[in-house]
Amino acid sequence: FFAEPLPKADVITMGMILHDWNLEKKMHLVRAAYDALPPGGAFVVIENLIDDARRENAFGLMMSLNMLIEFGDAFDFTAADLFGWCREVGFSRTEVIPLAGSASAGVAYK
């Protein structure tokens, strides 16, 4: 998904994808999702989002450490981080939907 544009869709979902990459590649994927969506479309990111204070989601914090050790520059992130990247490429409205366990869905609307 780095070589070709994403197919056009009303909803783009990435589940446990963004944490595998460094910031440059994360931003490439966020931009690719934005470009593939129509106005009003939704980008749904399912991850173990870390709380903004970085004190409560132990699983997300451990996963971030694991990504750093395994890949050298990959990392997990907070909802604030995700939504900052989303706003940077043009998404307008965002929300977090808590899921089971430590996972959440960060949703950004075009």
Question: In this structure, how many other beta carbons lie within 10 angstroms of the beta carbon of residue 51?
Answer: 14
The CA distances from residue 1 to 20, 29, 40, in Å, are: 13, 8, 23
The CA distances from residue 99 to 56, 66, 96, 102, in Å, are: 15, 22, 9, 7
19 is catalytic: yes
The structure tokens 């939907």 sit at 97
Backbone angles phi, psi at 15, to 5 degrees: -105, 115
From the list 19, 33, 37, 42, the catalytic residue is: 19
Continuous H helices in 4-107: 23-36, 58-71, 79-89
Query: What positions carry a catalytic annotation?
Result: 19
